[in-house]
Amino acid sequence: MTRTSRKPPRDPAQLSGKPLAETLEPSSILHSETEDWTTSRDLTEHGLSFVPEVMQDLTLYLLANPNVNSSHLFRADILFDSEGILRTPREKAQSFALTGNANADAIASTGGLNGAEDEAEVEPTSARDVAGFTLTRTIVRRLVPRNPKLDRTLDQTCHFYEAETETTAGTEGGCRRSLVIYTPHITKEEDIPYYHPTLRSLAYLYDYNQTTITPNPTTTEHPSQEPTPTPTPIPGPGLGTLTLHTLLFPNLSITNRLERTLQALLNTQIRLARTTHLPTPSSSSGSSATINQKHLGANKNPLKDNILPQHLVQNTYTRLKTKYASDLCQRWVETTEPSKHVFEDLSIAAFLIELWRSMYGIVPEDERSPPTPAEFPGFVDVACGNGVLVYILLQEGYSGWGFDARRRKTWGIFPEWIQRRLKEEIYIPAPFSDAVVGAIVEPEPEPETEPSDPIATSSPSPSSNNPFNLNIPTHTGHFPKDTFIISNHADELTVWTPLMAALLCPANPSPFVAIPCCSHALSGAKYRYPPPKGASTSAKTEQEEQQQQQQQQPDSGDLKALRKERQDAQATEAGFLKSMYGSLTAKTMAVAQEVGYEVEKTLLRIPSTRNMAVVGGRRGTMVRWRGRGRGGEREDEAEVVGDADANAEEVVGKVMAAVQRECAREGGVKAAAKIWIERARGINKGPGMGKQRGGGH
């Protein structure tokens, strides 16, 4: 296989090969008597083809996403924008709260900001007068570190300048100049956090020389004809030059670490500019007149933070990590690496807590006022695995439970009242149960009296007469009404999740979140779903993908780069749908829509490549919950009973139609049910020593 080579961000031939400290020279545009600005030809890249709008779009994107340049950072909160386009955390939180059932003032003043409470008090630093440039915009941002125990937040002012030189004799076009100066709100070198370059200020200068093209005049064939007028020049492709300018602290020089940081910043700017696409096709002309400024700097992936604001989830994640991570990692008893599972479940818990805040108006226990009862329908984590997610949610005051086909060693490290809510049970879908042994009547589950009750549980009591000859209790998903269903890397239960939620209460199907992982058919057998209609049918099989990866590894020698290349190949929607994971996600969404759900998908910020979440029934639940009185019942419940019964019959019919269609490949529902039961019997016995996966899902 031919190895694909990537063009390096910079041309090595333009570098001097000397230490950066030996190549510094005064900055021609920023150096003054009071500030000793410097630059270097090693911090300059010529011959770039990006129009200024590309650099502007990329700069605004990196303003809110400094984690692209530093892994020690979470994000940047915008505290002030002179143009009023970029929103502050308070504005995002209040706008988000208005779409759900959370209290707008509470979400903006308590758990919503966590570090930006005093954003209105932060004033921008004074703008410098730069000869020949005009100040066009001022933005103040707050850099938020991943670990607040190690690093503190840092406020930074970003001043935007522009200049333009007109066409002069001897040149083909004018020069458009863009300058951005970053100034941290500090005065001493020792106050600089580790994640920030040890500089008083840093500036990016981009000079774009616009060329013009004069079309060749049409020659006349007959002398009697009048000469053709000279064609009007039209804009042509230009070339740009990107330069970094630095303002060092007094008596400090360029260190090796600072030199690497500056080179990395320049490389990242150039590399990302190559993949930056402006919002309108006319951007290629180099004119900004037709470009909507509000769209510049937008999130490069529309599936990120499309349901919940980034800062809400990350602030909650930081709190949960501080509270639980160290203890869980120290007491980990599985053979797997604890950090991966612990931090992934902490991230999912943070997402759920903020999701439920919006849907139900319920907050974590620490934020609740004592007189206010907790109005939450409860949750169930299907195929809960190590139980960490259930443990965190219960500790945060959310009533619920989880089940898995096998008890995990991790369950034993939790308090007794937590262990009682982790059940070793096997889910037998109701359509399969009906097909094999007829309808099994399970006792009506008792609702929990109080979330803190260590004995109460939402789990149904499994029938003592097990009709499936399994050495483990079974159930058919007969949960309390409105239970929120969590399906986190549940494998065989992934596509069943929307069907399970719909059958729970067909009149008002329960909401759910499914995070797909491995692909299985409804029978539980491994199965790769074809890409949805409209996607390319040239998707490779999983075996072909593995063979290609094995062939590439010896050539590349860099597994991290290879993994990044494979992710980039699936970055587009079409590429994502070609993959097995994309097809599974699309199938889960299609089944949910088929049975009547309004479905959304969002990329979770979790340490896993299987990070797509399918959320069903979010908006409908918010509307229903908003119309409920205290105690969770609708005040007009009696008026909608008839409509609910009709809707229930329709939903059950759609579920059964989907089940029958999907099970046809196994020979029908009964045949698929037997496969499911046989697989359940094998799962209960446990995997062989060579197939054990530890405490993960």
pLDDT value at position 459? 43
pLDDT value at position 7? 73
**Which has the closest alpha carbon to 24: 12, 9, 42?**
42
Higher-scoring residue by pLDDT: 290, 88: 88
How many CA atoms within 13 Å lie on the side-chain side of 664? 6
**Angle at 355 (CA atoms; ends 354, 360), nearest 5 degrees:** 100
- Give the end-to-end CA distance of the chain in Å, rounded to a whole number: 35
Contact 322, 149 (CB under 8 A): yes
Higher-scoring residue by pLDDT: 218, 77: 77
| Residues linked to residue 204 through DSSP beta bridges, in sequence order | 180, 244
The two three-digit tokens of residue 79, written as one number: 């505290």
pLDDT value at position 681? 84
**Neighbour-count burial for 390-406, b at 16+ CB within 10 Å, e otherwise:** bbbbbbbbbbbbbbbbe
Contacts (Cβ under 8 Å, ≥6 apart) of 433: 439, 440, 476, 673
Round the CA-based radius of gyration of the chain to a whole number and report it: 30
Secondary structure letter of residue 117 according to DSSP = T
Contact 389, 381 (CB under 8 A): yes
Contacts (Cβ under 8 Å, ≥6 apart) of 110: 367
CA dist., res. 503 & res. 648, Å (int): 9
CA dist., res. 185 & res. 302, Å (int): 32
Q: Please say if the pLDDT value at position 506 is more than 90.
A: yes
Q: Report the pLDDT averaged over residues 157-178.
A: 78
pLDDT band at 560 (very low <50, low <70, confident <90, very high): very low
pLDDT value at position 44? 95
Q: Please say if the pLDDT value at position 21 is more than 50.
A: yes
Contact 223, 259 (CB under 8 A): no
Lowest mean pLDDT among 77-91, 354-368, 470-484, 615-629: 615-629
**Which has the closest alpha carbon to 100: 363, 483, 380?**
363
pTM here is: 0.81
φ/ψ of 139, rounded to 5, equals -130, 135
The two three-digit tokens of residue 354, written as one number: 């903020």
pLDDT value at position 549? 39
CA dist., res. 600 & res. 427, Å (int): 25
Model pLDDT for residues 337-358, shown as the tens digit of each residue:
888 889 999 999 999 999 999 9
pLDDT value at position 212? 67
Q: Please say if the pLDDT value at position 68 is more than 50.
A: yes
CA dist., res. 235 & res. 248, Å (int): 39
pLDDT band at 682 (very low <50, low <70, confident <90, very high): confident
Query: How far from 234 is each of 18, 20, 213, 280, 285, CA to CA, in Å?
Result: 42, 41, 5, 20, 10
pLDDT band at 98 (very low <50, low <70, confident <90, very high): low
pLDDT value at position 106? 52
Contact 562, 549 (CB under 8 A): yes
Q: Please say if the pLDDT value at position 100 is more than 90.
A: no
3-state secondary structure of 485: strand
Lowest mean pLDDT among 265-269, 427-431, 446-450, 492-496: 446-450
pLDDT value at position 336? 86
Average pLDDT, the chain: 81
Place of tokens 């004069």: 214
Model pLDDT for residues 23-63, shown as the tens digit of each residue:
999 999 999 889 999 999 999 999 999 999 999 999 999 99
Query: How far from 523 is each of 124, 394, 676, 677, CA to CA, in Å?
Result: 61, 32, 5, 9
Model pLDDT for residues 303-313, shown as the tens digit of each residue:
788 899 999 99
